Amino acid sequence: MSLRPYIVGNWKMHGTRAMLAEARAIDRAGQRHPKVEVALAPPFTLIHATRKEAEQIGVGAQDCHPADGGAHTGDVSAAMLADAGAGFVIVGHSERRNDHGETNELVRSKAESARKVGLGVILCVGESEAERDAGRAEEVVCAQLEASLPMNQGAVEKLSIAYEPVWAIGTGRVPSLEDIEAMHRAIRERLVATYGEEGAEVRILYGGSVKPDNAAEILNVPEVDGALVGGASLTAESFYGIILAASGENAD
């Protein structure tokens, strides 16, 4: 685990203003554990309010359009996200790749547009269950990665990768710790091959059924620098259990 683990909550399509109380409580938890970098990605509609309510944690978005602006009904540009108070954006989540047919090329252009306006990027990659069963997990993930990494100026700064096996998302199933380590090492190799020495600094997060009771062992796997958390980030109580595990401290 890196010196300052990065624990990010992805609220997906959950949350109305009533959930700002959870965001405030998560912010307080983040303040109590400054050795952990905590962030939340609420839906677009809550970014501005979450940024205003939270003093310490990072606030980001779950997607952006690659263009600077224009005739794209219903879409949101990276510059708009920054203006709303976002500091980073998640791109290439498997739910976007599957629900919206997002290609690696599109994901790369989204990541590049985000870096252009100074947003951090969390780029998601992950194999399906059939691909893992066929012994192709590493090949698939590395091909996704190589084709979707941002390549514009400053791309590698503020870039994180999230390895999220599709079959582990929302299922309660997680890969073995050995499989997580092997995949993170393979991702690290590709990052260094692409970006040189700077690739060694990119954080690699694990995502997929991270819960308070498995967070410590997953976060202790070599090359795991943090976690991207879905369901267990929706309440401050369960997210706190993961923040605490990342802090390496005991419950207070």
Closest CB to ligand 13P among 228 and 243?
Answer: 228
CA distance 110 to 112: 5
Q: Which two tokens stand for residue 140?
A: 């698939």
Closest CB to ligand 13P among 79 and 226?
Answer: 226
Place of tokens 């310490």: 56
Give min distance, CB of 209 to ligand 13P, in A. 4
CA distance 28 to 202: 27
Concerning whether 93 is annotated as a catalytic residue, the answer is: yes
Give min distance, CB of 207 to ligand 13P, in A. 4
Residue ranges that bind ligand 13P, judged by CB under 6 A: 10, 93, 164, 169-170, 207-210, 228-232
Concerning whether 48 is annotated as a catalytic residue, the answer is: no
Q: Say which of 37, 93, 127, 184 is annotated catalytic.
A: 93
Closest CB to ligand 13P among 145 and 229?
Answer: 229
Closest CB to ligand 13P among 79 and 90?
Answer: 90
Strand partners, 204: 161
CA distance 94 to 174: 16
Give min distance, CB of 90 to ligand 13P, in A. 7
Look at the chain and count its residues. 252
Contact 31, 55 (CB under 8 A): yes
CA distance 196 to 25: 39
Give min distance, CB of 3 to ligand 13P, in A. 23
State the catalytic residues: 93, 164
